[in-house]
Amino acid sequence: MKPIPVVFHIGPLQIHTYGIGLAITFWVSYRYFARRLRAHGYDDAWLTRAFIWIIIASVVGARAVHVIANWGFYSRNLGDILAVWHGGLSSFGGLLGGVPTGVYLAHRWCKSLRLVVAADLVAPVLVLAWAIGRLLGPQLMYAGGGYPTTAWYGMEYAGQVGKRLPVPIFQSLECLLIYFLALQIEKYIARRGSPFGVVAAASATLYGGARLNDESVLLPHGKGGVAVEVVSVVFVIVGLLFTAWLLWRDRNRMREAALRGPVPHVVGVPGDPWASPQPVETDDAGDAALAGDAVLAGDAALAGEGSLAGDPRAIDPGKESRANAE
């Protein structure tokens, strides 16, 4: 099987297949996250403005971490530092650049979207993006294969001699499996009603385990690969501990709530604990509870009383009784 062309020309214009794959990945990620936001009642208009900045921050972070992790090579080849068309984008670096940027812009432009809710909503998007990106990115780039192999599924890659393990395809399948597991975890949390953060933490744990397997078993690497292994182990350990802590805390909370007695019904979207806290219609005209936050209903009532107290047209009961007596 011949290598997939990594570059082609349209007239004088040189097009890199790797770049096309990344562009498709970013586009699918944007559309999918916007759809998930709308499905849970959040405005997605802010995402259109934010996504360009998220892409820039992700690419810069991904390239910077890759260059730092492989500085032994780039210190001798400074001209290759910006040659992203040859590959070399760290997924962990992309997270390091893109996630803080997305968090900041979401906090600024979508106040109703809590950080922990955003993490749960975006986790399946990121995993699916990695599945697509591995297939349309490293699979189509220069020297994208793994160890040499004589197996029937070996593939040839530009810049590498002989058949290689098709690691990008393996990684894509791993991420696709993690994506479906994340959706199943999301369904479980939806039935349970809580806790927030489990979808994101579990996805990070699974992804860290998959990357650890890739770097230690499938890919030839130097010091940069060792650094990725270390980060992968951190993802697994921290993700497991955080997931266990979230479930333990939620179990204690539910146990304490059961001891206190029946929990008042909260008006919201059935089966959707991540729903946007927007007002909902109820059968009780006096119920002004917001989805997922019954405390705000009391605040609305107090606000109504406060407006009457400051209204000069409000009737003073004492004044009315004195008028009747006269």
Domain boundary among 258, 287, 314: 258
Highest mean pLDDT among 156-165, 239-248, 292-301: 239-248
Please tell me which residue, 299 or 203, carries the higher pLDDT value.
203
- On whether the CB atoms of residues 243 and 205 are closer than 8 A, the answer is yes
> In the block, which residue shows the tokens 């927007």?
278
214-218: average pLDDT:
82
CA distance 46 to 82: 30
Residues 204 and 306 in one domain: no
pLDDT band at 276 (very low <50, low <70, confident <90, very high): confident
Give the phi and the psi of residue 10 in degrees, each rounded to 5: -120, 95
Distance CA(165)–CA(146), nearest Å, equals 5
Q: Are residues 228 and 290 in the same domain?
A: no
Residues 215 and 310 placed together within one structural domain of the fold: no
Q: What does the pLDDT read at residue 290? A: 35
Instruction: Give the predicted TM-score (pTM) of the model.
Output: 0.76
In a domain, 263, yes or no: no
* Range 156-177 average pLDDT: 89
Stretch among 111-115, 221-225, 259-263, 311-315 having the lowest mean pLDDT: 311-315
For residues 312 and 167, membership in a common domain is answered with no
Find, among 215, 112, 131, 113, the residue nearest to 178 by Cα.
131
The per-residue pLDDT for 38 is 94
Question: Cα angle at 190 between 97 and 233, to 5 degrees?
Answer: 40
Does residue 1 belong to any structural domain of this protein?
Answer: no
Residue 182 in this model has a pLDDT that exceeds 60: yes
The answer to whether the CB of 273 falls within 8 A of the CB of 41 is no
Tokens 């405005």 found at = 43
* 246 shares a domain with 128: yes
Question: Which structure tokens are listed for 177?
Answer: 């499996």
66 lies in the same domain as 152:
yes
State which residues form the domain around 277.
Answer: 271-326
If phi > 0 it is left, if psi is from -120 to 50 it is alpha, else beta; for residue 11 that is: left
CA distance 214 to 199: 23
Residues 241 and 276 in one domain: no
DSSP conformation class of 218:
I
Segment 110-124 mean pLDDT: 94
Which is higher by pLDDT, 12 or 259?
A: 259
Q: Percent of the chain having pLDDT more than 70?
A: 77
- Measured CA to CA in angstroms, residue 134 lies from 95, 269, 274 at distances of 15, 36, 29
In the predicted structure, residue 262 carries a pLDDT above the cut 80: no
| Count of C-beta atoms within a 10 Å radius of residue 227 | 18
What is the number of structural domains in the chain?
2
144 & 254 share domain: yes
Model confidence band, residue 36 (pLDDT cutoffs 50, 70, 90): very high
Let me know whether 54 and 84 are in one domain.
Answer: yes
Alpha carbon distance 128, 29 (integer Å): 8
Cis omega (within 30 of 0) for bond into 148: no
Question: Averaged over 190-214, what is the pLDDT?
Answer: 93
Mean pLDDT of 161-173: 90
CB atoms within 10 A of CB 25: 20
**Residue whose structure tokens are 């499938």:** 218
- Residues 103, 115 contacting (CB under 8 angstroms): yes
- Residue 129 backbone dihedrals phi, psi, to 5 degrees: -60, -40
| Cα–Cα distance for residue pair 144/137, rounded to 1 Å | 9
Confidence of residue 219 (pLDDT cuts 50, 70, 90): confident
Question: Which range in 19-28, 157-166, 195-204 is most confidently predicted, on average pLDDT?
Answer: 195-204
- Which of 213, 231, 258 lies at the terminal end of a domain, its last residue? 258
The answer to whether residue 15 scores a pLDDT higher than 80 is: no
Average predicted confidence (pLDDT) for the chain: 80
- Find out whether 175 and 134 touch, Cβ atoms under 8 Å: yes
Q: Average pLDDT in the 161-172 region?
A: 89
Structure tokens at 131: 């599945």
| Residue 110, C-beta contacts closer than 8 angstroms, at least 6 positions apart | 42, 43, 46
Percent of the chain with pLDDT over 90: 40
* HSE-up (13 A, CA, CB side) for residue 306: 6
